[in-house]
Every structure is written in C-alpha cells, then in structure tokens.
Amino acid sequence: MPQSQSSHVSVVIIGGGQAGLSVSWYLTRDGIDHVVLERHRAFHSWRENRWDSFCLVTPNWQCRLPGHPYQGNDPDGFMLRNEIVDYLDGFAASFDPPLREGVSVTRVSPMPGGYRVESTAGVWTCEQVVVATGGYDQPIVPPYAGAIAPDVMQMHSAQYRRPAQLPAGGTLIVGTGQSGVQIMEDLHRDGRDVHLAVGPAPRSPRKYRGRDATDWLYDMGHYAITIDRHPDPIKALTQTNHYMSGRDGGKEIDLRRFALDGVHLYGSLSGAEGTRLRFLPDLEKNLDDADRSYCGIRDQIDAWIAAQGIDAPPAPIFHKVWRPEAEVTEIDCAALGITSIVWAIGFRPDYSWLEVDCFDAQGRPLYRRGVTDVPGVYFIGLGWLNTWGSGRFLAVADDARHLAEQIVQRTHAGAQAAE
C-alpha cells in the first residue's frame, strides 16, 4: 500500500502477536472486516527476543489459543523456543488472518466517526482500534549504566542468546525475574563465573506433593481470580512474576542452592562508577521474602489438599540451605574479573503514537478488562488485564473473546444507527 493511499476497515488491530491474532480469530469467525498491522513478523518476540535454551515456565496444557489448544504428546512439559514458534505459526495458519507484516504504526488519532491510523505502509481509517503491542517496547537500563567503564560489556536480556556472546570472565546478571534467573542458570551451566544482583522478585514451588504447583493453583481457582476481586490489586499489577523454570522437565529455582554451588549473590544494584558497583544491603531480605512467597504457595496448596480430602504425598520439609555471612555493598569489577553485565530488569511500553485520551497521569492505559472509556479503543495482551493469565497463553483467548463481543456489539449498533 503506497504511503499516499488510504483504506477503510471496521477494525484495526495493532500488533501481530498471540494477543492481537486471538482477537483477529474471533473477528474472522464473526465476519467483522479488519486488518492486523505488525511492525516486524508475526510472533517476532518469540522468534527473535528469546535465548537459545528458552522454554515455557508454564506447562504446555496452558497453551489455549482460540481454536488451537496444545495438541502435543507432552501436556505437562514445557515447550522450547522453536516449538513455541511452531505452535504459534500453526495457530496463524489455522485461520489465515488479514495480517500485514513489516508495517509500523506511527500515529493513531481520532477523526469523525472513528480513528485515523497512520503507518509506514499508508493510512487506514476505522471505527475501532485494538492495541495489542504488549508492554515490552523499551528495554529498561538504569541511568547509571552510562557511568560504567566502557571495557565492561553491557547487554539487555532481550539481546541475550547464548553464553558465547559474552567475553571471557565473570558476568553480573542484574534482576531476578524469570529472565534473570534463567540466564543466570544458563551461564552457570556453561561453567561461567556468575554474579547475581538479587531483587525483590518472589519465587514459586515447581513440583509439589505429586503435581506441578500450577496444576494445584488452577484447580484451586487461583487463575480465575479477576483483578477487581484480587485482595491486593496494586501488588498484583506491580509485582515481578514468580521465578521458577521449565528446563529439564520443570524445576524450582532456589538461589541459596546456587550460592552453595558458586554463584555470587548481592543485594539490589543501586549505582555504578567506572568498574565499581554499589548494592543495597537487602540480599538477605530479598531471599527471605522470596522464600516467604514460596512457602505461602505451599501453605495454600496444603490447605486445599486438606479441605478436599485429597490423598497426596507428604510435603517435603523446607529449610534454608544458605545464608549470606555479610551484606556486600560494593565490588570492583576489575578486581573480580567481571567483564560483562546483563540487565534483566524489564521493559516499558511505548504508547507515544496513540493520541487518544485513555491514560492516567503516569502514562498507563485505563480500561476495564481491556475496554477503555474512549469509544472503540481497546487493549489486550497486558498482565492482569483481567486475570493472572491475561498476559499469557492461558487466558488471552478469554480476553480476546470478550473484546470481540464488545466490538461486534458496537459494530452492529453503528450499522443500525446508520440505517
């Protein structure tokens, strides 16, 4: 489509990941004309922004895209990156969406009766817009990263693929969300000297009392809790995901055991200058808080088993296998042989192109289950859009179905008004 050309559709979906294409699946089924605009290739993040050994953290059975549930022979396993891409490509092929790849949306602005969507491939006008770009646009790197000596290589977790990318010597991983701890393990298994700045992320059991912890939590209705019924919605929206792993068939990550095995643990990184790095004295607190979360999940599962009268294996005794002798608050990379840093502290969304009044004072979109107060503007694919599974394979289909119902109702109401 030439830049000067304009086309009209009822709905423009911006983002060709699993969230945007799930909405497209329902709109295709319901006969609503639309287009999906993807700035790269469909499922780009899964193809390009995952390391070689990446695998799912949630079991395969939770992959429930519309009309395309997981059909493999290992529902309790954890698909590797290439298997995930194959699953997603199969989903797209199952209904042939009106997808335009390599198209970047540069501006969305209101116009009479709808919206004007400007892009690198021309202009679309529409009555309704679905924002499915996710929250991973801008990798976060702290301001003091620029003060670190240039001979210390720096990269974000989005750039990490394999240990061979990093120079010889030690590596500091900053952040203990799911990416940070899994990259830490990847490097440790490669025989690298690994240092880890431990943040406040919680951790979860993996296999517990005969089943995966996520299986128990699903049966308990944990994943069906909506954000408006959550006992602590602010915490739900801001807390880092619990860390565990799907590697080697699934296992939990206990950072204390990695410390016993030679990984160097510090508290939260707080500043840097040259080759010197500073840390907060919060390592023990962060480890204790992660264990408190871990034990809290165990307690919930234990209570459920007791209340339901389920015959399950006894709970293993929990104990802390390591504690820091002292809080290290400053190190010298040169003295310790640290030659690289991997930032694993998350991302920020970028909605600068969306000129619609649907954001709070901090720039976060305002909606109820993805439906904003601005007529015809929707969001999908964000964490806790409605439930824990909203930003994951488990519940994105439910959210997409809900948005499609709103879109269909609005489309029919508009058609009746025009008669």
Give residue 24's pLDDT. Answer: 98
User: Is the pLDDT score of 6 beyond 90?
Assistant: no
Residues 20, 381: Cα–Cα separation, whole Å: 8
What DSSP designation does 418 have? H
Whether pLDDT at 64 is above 50: yes
The C-alpha atoms of residue 66 and residue 415 are separated, in whole angstroms, by 27
CA 358 remoteness from chain centre: 22
Mean pLDDT of 350-366: 95
Q: Residue 363 burial by CB count (10 A; 0-12/13-18/19+): exposed, middle or buried?
A: exposed
In angstroms, rounded to a whole number, what is the distance separating the alpha carbons of residues 348 and 140? 7
Domains of the chain, by residue range, sit at 6-137+349-418, 139-343
Look at residue 106 in the predicted model and tell me its pLDDT: 98
Among the listed residues 318, 265, 317, 260, the one whose alpha carbon sits nearest the alpha carbon of residue 287 = 265
pLDDT for 419 equals 62
3-class DSSP assignment, residue 211: strand
CA distance 113 to 376: 10
Read off the tokens for 6.
Answer: 């304009």
What pLDDT sits at residue 236?
87
What's the CATH number for 139-343?
3.50.50.60
DSSP string, 132-145: ---S-SEE---GGG
pLDDT tens for 232-277 read 998 888 888 899 999 999 999 999 999 999 999 999 999 999 999 9
The SS3 of residue 219 is helix
Question: Residue 3 has what pLDDT?
Answer: 42
Confidence of residue 1 (pLDDT cuts 50, 70, 90): very low
CA-to-CA distance for 54 and 3, rounded, in angstroms? 38
pLDDT bracket for residue 418 (50, 70, 90):
low
- pLDDT tens-digit series, residues 126-176: 999 999 999 888 999 999 999 999 999 999 999 999 999 999 999 999 999
pLDDT tens column, 371-407: 999 999 999 999 999 999 998 999 999 999 999 999 9
Exposure class string for 388-412: b at 16+ Cβ within 10 A, else e? bbbbbbbbbbbbbebbbeebbebbe
pLDDT band at residue 203 under the 50/70/90 scheme: very high
Q: What pTM was computed for the model?
A: 0.95
Domains 6-137+349-418 and 139-343 share a fold: yes
Return the structure tokens found at 246: 């799907």
Query: Which of 1-15, 48-62, 319-333 shows the lowest per-residue confidence on average (mean pLDDT)?
Result: 1-15
Q: What is the mean pLDDT of the chain?
A: 95
> For residue 62, what pLDDT band results from cuts at 50, 70 and 90?
very high
**CATH, domain range 6-137+349-418:** 3.50.50.60
